[in-house]
Amino acid sequence: MENDTTGTLFLPPQSSTISGDVDALFNFVLYASIVFFLLVVLLSLFFVLRYRRRGQLTLSTGPSHNTKLEIVWTLIPLVLVFIVFFWGFKTFLKMHIVPQDAIDIKVTAQKWFWTFDYTKAGVNSLNELVVPVDQPVQLTMSSTDVIHSFYVPGFRVKMDVLPNRYSVTWFQANHTGEFDLFCAEYCGTSHSDMIGKVRVLNEREYNEWLEQQSMGGDDMPLPELGAKLFSSKACITCHTVDGIPKVGPSFKGRFGSKQPMDDGQQVLIDENFVRESILSPMAHVAQGFQPVMPSYQGLLKEREIDALIEYMKSLQEE
Ligand code: CUA
């Protein structure tokens, strides 16, 4: 990124077309607040010292009002809030009216990962939103469970993602690079791990990426592909490969063993079990764990399920 100079104490460098507007208004409110804070505090201090008790008091009744002063302290704040309102409203409209030619991407939030469906190209990705630079992108978002919030600080874009309805937002990235994506609404145990990336590519790289996505790692050995999917499909949010359980059991040493389920049944962890766990996780829930695993139905290709199984097999205790 060439212009890193636009980052501030509060926010990372401006990387979308609206970030300048958002920051300008934010700074206006910030500096106006600082000016009035200083004005009030310094004047108070001055009056406290200037009019402190000195010797015997002679009290007068004092003025009951001062019309000029009252008009001034009404008009100045009035003007200020009008500036903030109209400026804010203008920017709000800009942020909410999606350009006609925007690329449409469907966003699904669930505990605890993001799915991005490229409706036109027919591909999807998890926790990684890939977009072309200098083109408007429309996000139509919904949640399958609780309220999440889609937040990309670099783009100054934040929008709640709700169950049972769609919320829409858009942005246009104005330089290439990688940007943080956070969930900004507490949504349960792994809320803080519900982290993704937005990768902004140039047009050619973007089209290459779309093509690559539709092939789905066909040239890779299965365990290697599985290891890649383990993080790219967000298994890593809830599972580990080092034997220490997280939200879900660790993958290490689990394949081929017999494990107790929440109904007391002992189940052999074999290919069919892992497959079922991925596609219908509620069928058998491992004892000692919450039934919070989302279904990956429609999110993984057959070969990708095979790859995850092979990867799990490769993780045996030494
Ligand atoms: Cu999803 Cu917090």
pLDDT of 302? 82
**Given this model, what pLDDT does residue 271 score?**
86
Which pLDDT score is estimated for 263?
Answer: 87
Ligand 1 midpoint to CA 276 (Å): 26
- Average pLDDT for 279-300: 87
What integer pLDDT is reported at residue 170 of this predicted model? Answer: 95
**In this model, does residue 38 exceed pLDDT 50?**
yes
- Kindly give the pairing relationship between strand 128-132 and strand 196-201: parallel
Task: Using the predicted structure, report yes or no on whether residue 163 has a pLDDT greater than 90.
Answer: yes
Partners of residue 123 on adjacent β-strands: 118
Is the Cβ atom of 194 under 6 angstroms away from ligand 1? yes
For 175-200, give one letter per residue: b (16+ CB within 10 A) or e.
bbeebebbbbbebeebbeebbbebbb
Average of pLDDT values for 278-304?
86
Which is more confident, 6 or 18? 18
Task: List Cα–Cα distances, 278 to 166, 212, 284, 302, in angstroms.
Answer: 26, 23, 11, 11
In short, whether 148's Cβ falls inside 6 Å of ligand 1 is yes
Taking the CA of residue 109 as reference, the ligand 1 atom at the shortest distance is 1
Tell me the CA–centroid distance for residue 79 and ligand 1, in Å. Answer: 39
- Of ligand 1's atoms, which has the minimum distance to the CA of residue 191? 2
Pocket of ligand 1 contains residue 143 by CB under 6 Å: no
Ligand 1 atom nearest residue 186's Cα: 2
**Ligand 1 close to Cβ of residue 191 (< 6 A):** yes
**Residue 107 — φ and ψ, nearest 5°?**
-110, 130
Starting at the edge strand found earlier in the chain, the sheet holding 113-118 runs: 123-126, 113-118, 103-110, 136-143, 167-172
Cis ω for the linkage preceding 112 (within 30 of 0): yes
Average pLDDT over all residues of the chain: 88
Percent of the chain with pLDDT over 90: 44
For ligand 1, atom 1, the nearest C-alpha belongs to 148
Label residue 217 by pLDDT band (50, 70, 90).
low
CA 164 → CA 139, 161, 167, distances in Å? 16, 10, 10
In this prediction, residues 202-231 reach a mean pLDDT of 83
β-bridge partners, 259 = 267
Residues in the chain: 318
Q: How far is the CA of 194 from the centre of ligand 1 (A)?
A: 6
Cα dihedral value 211, 216, 221, 227, nearest 10 = 120
Judged against a pLDDT cut of 80, whether residue 6 lies above it is answered with no
Cβ partners under 8 Å of residue 100, min gap 6: none
Q: pLDDT higher for 256 or 105?
A: 105
Can you tell me which atom of ligand 1 is nearest the CA of 185?
A: 2
Cα gap 4→1, rounded to integer Å: 6
Rounded distance between C-alpha atoms, residue 91 and residue 83, angstroms: 12
User: What mean pLDDT comes out for the span 242-253?
Assistant: 87
- Residue 126, classified by CB atoms within 10 Å of its CB into exposed (0-12), middle (13-18) or buried (19+), is buried
pLDDT of 41-52, one tens digit each? 999 999 999 988
Tell me: the pLDDT tens digits for 80-99? 999 999 999 999 999 889 99
pLDDT tens digits, one per residue of 102-125? 999 999 999 888 999 988 887 888
